[in-house]
Amino acid sequence: MKKRILVTGGAGFVGSHLCRRLLNEGHEIICLDSFFTGSKDNIVDMMDHPYFELVRHDVQQPILLEVDEIYNLACPASPPYYQFDPVATTRTSVLGAIHMLDIARKCKAKILQASTSEVYGDPEVHPQPESYRGSVSTTGIRACYDEGKRCAETLFFDYQRQYGVEIKVIRIFNTYGPFMNPHDGRVVSNFIVQALKGEDITMYGDGTQTRSFQYIDDLIDGMIRLMDSRDGFTGPVNVGNPGEFTMLELAQKVIELTGSKSEIKFFPLPQDDPLQRQPDITLAKKELGWEPHVNLEEGLKKTIEYFKSVI
């Protein structure tokens, strides 16, 4: 059945993939974006489609749109960008959640929140199951993002309990792939762009900190499965690839796959940078029948091809 679907942050990295997939499935898409970190280049291929509509809007302000489903992605996700105007980051997460939940309440629309593994902070439990409540600084430089996302989750569950809004909350772990902004500042895009340009690889800290990297196609599959999951299943549910790598391993893999002569240069580790991160995906397997299919090497190859074409 054709649905009218609102994707906030639809011109960003994840949002543009989601819009494309939903459009290809035959739905009508309203892509809402302020273009803070997103770009028209990410969605230009969809602009002429009769069922694709672009709305330039900042979710810090209210708006009324009539839709059947909402994917709420609007929020900068890269540390340099979310720390650029941290007050706006918290406002985007919190006011953005309220404004989108108000639409869902009025239209009786189903709404999915793009939450994050950052709600676990610098975790003391490893790997992280959804039941782990996290170890997050309320005062550090990452708090605008982490606490904003935590408060958004709270709002989602309160709108469900208080107003009966149908909610779905996904906790996304580090995701990479084509359409990442080459200047985005996240580790995968930085390392690939540096390797392709033959520049030094910027390693923060000693490179022993870990992340678990998921390829974009696996994430999009998990998001849509969650939106379509059984009534009453709200999550939060982790969606990520349990393959865990140190940043040194990532740098070496990128250098190998690009055949680059770049050297690794070490810089101080930013404040509150989590030391380790790996999703426990037991719940996603059970409730969504979901698991990742693209391993790091395969995903990096596709991402490297993309960056070769844009830089």
For the CB of residue 114, give the shortest distance to ligand UDP in the complex, in Å. Answer: 14
Q: What are phi and psi of 303, to 5 degrees?
A: -70, -40
Residues between 149 and 188 with contacts to ligand NAD, criterion CB under 6 A = 172, 174-175
Which entry of ligand NAD, ligand UDP, none binds 143, CB below 5 to 8 A by partner kind? none
By the rule CB under 6 A, 211 interacts with ligand UDP = yes
For the CB of residue 15, give the shortest distance to ligand UDP in the complex, in Å. Answer: 18
Most distant pair of Cα atoms in the chain: their distance: 58
Any residues with CB less than 8 A from the CB of 23 and at least 6 apart, and which?
29, 46, 49, 51, 52
Retrieve residue 260's tokens.
């680059």
Omega prior to 182 cis, within 30 of 0: no
| 204 assigned to active site | no
By the rule CB under 6 A, 209 interacts with ligand UDP = yes
By the rule CB under 6 A, 9 interacts with ligand NAD = yes
Provide the mask over 57-86, with x wherever binding to ligand UDP is found by CB under 6 A and - wherever it is not: ---------------------xx-------
Instruction: Give the residue among 144, 156, 134 at the shortest CA–CA distance from 72.
Output: 156
| DSSP category for residue 119 | G
Which entry of ligand NAD, ligand UDP, none binds 190, CB below 5 to 8 A by partner kind? ligand UDP
Name the residue type at position 282. Answer: T
Instruction: Give the residue among 239, 244, 223, 216 at the shortest CA–CA distance from 285.
Output: 239
Instruction: Give the residue among 244, 278, 274 at the shortest CA–CA distance from 122.
Output: 274
According to CB under 6 A, which one of 6, 30, 31, 74 is a site residue for ligand NAD? 74
Footprint on this chain of ligand NAD (rule: CB under 6 A): 8-9, 11-15, 33-38, 58-60, 73-77, 92, 96, 114, 116, 172, 174-175
Active-site positions read 145
Footprint on this chain of ligand UDP (rule: CB under 6 A): 78-79, 174, 186-187, 190, 202-204, 209, 211, 247, 270, 273
